[in-house]
A = this chain, B = another copy of it.
Amino acid sequence: MTFPSSLHALPPTVGLIGFGAFGRLIARYLQPHAPLLAFDPLLPQAGERDGVRLATLAGAAACPVVILAMPVERLREVLESIRPHLRPGSLVVDVGSVKQRPAALLRELLPLGVEAVGTHPLFGPQSAAGGIRGLSVAVCPVRGTRPARRLAALLRSRLGLRPFLSTPEAHDREAAVVQGLTHLIAKVLVRMEPFPTRLSTRSFELMMQAVEMVRHDAQEVFLAIERDNPHAREVRNRFLDLVAALGRELDNHAEPARRVTLPQSA
């Protein structure tokens, strides 16, 4: 069974459900390529914000392409709300930091005939401050691989992103390591502040630049990465065990016996 794809006739209107920090970032880069309609429960349902037309939930959901840009924990609720308004042949894309559970929800709740692709743009407002060209985005097929491949091609050709295809599970396993460790370490380092200012090293400065890049992320982003990723706890526990083990090694590492290998001179 095939349906006419919304991506065949460009530019389709894009409905943006969620107009928070990440929704606005998406809007900034999509605006030159497609008309946008944004819905956010905290904003009016008409008028304009940041140059983007505001709409009702029904209006945004009836677009040929619908992007879901809200916290993962609200996804079920939102899918149930937009379900009656989605049109056959439309494409629904989520942009959350985890992919397994959202993919399952999309499969469960989207009407038959609606295409679905899970994406994870691997950047945020901080890391995209200098533009998004060359930045990575994971693209996970949810219903068939064709919509995912088409979307990946568009993200590459129109936005200059570096898309890569993955499965929701492979994505979550890798994100649990890459983002799980980064955000865990960053959160702990922030809790250890203030740090010395005069004494510093290049490597410490790099680590603090990494911290700077994620410290202002919304708490929902942190929770999606650390709590909603089904593999994050295992990675966290491994990190904790290795820190503890290294501490024990160092505590037990007696100073080596004094060697007398210095040759006598003169």
How many copies of this chain does the complex contain? 2
Against B, the Cβ 8 Å flags (1 = close, 0 = not) of A235-266 are 01111101110110011010110111111011
Cβ A226 vs Cβ B250 within 8 A = yes
Chain B residues lying within 8 Å of A5, measured Cβ to Cβ, are: none
User: Contact: B177 with A195, CB < 8 Å?
Assistant: yes
A66–B201 CA distance with the chains assembled, in angstroms: 25
Complex: how many Å from CA A243 to CA B188?
6
A189 at the interface (CB under 8 A from B): yes
Q: Name the contact of A213 in the complex, choosing from B45, B206, B266 (C-beta under 8 A).
A: B206
Total contacting residues, chain A, CB less than 8 A: 83
User: Nearest residue in B to A171 (C-beta to C-beta)?
Assistant: B199
Secondary structure dominating the interface of A? helix
A143 to B213 Cα, complex, angstroms = 43
A-B contact pairs, 6 of them (CB 8 A): A45-B265, A57-B266, A122-B201, A181-B204, A203-B213, A236-B250
Known: A74-B259, A77-B259, A228-B255. 10 other contacts (CB 8 A): A58-B266, A123-B202, A174-B198, A184-B243, A185-B207, A188-B239, A206-B207, A206-B210, A207-B210, A236-B247
A interface residues, Cβ below 8 angstroms from B? 39, 41, 45, 56-59, 73-74, 76-78, 81, 85, 122-123, 127, 135-136, 138, 164, 166, 171, 174-175, 177-179, 181-182, 184-189, 191-192, 195-196, 198-204, 206-207, 209-211, 213-214, 223, 226-228, 232-233, 236-240, 242-244, 246-247, 250-251, 253, 255-256, 258-263, 265-266
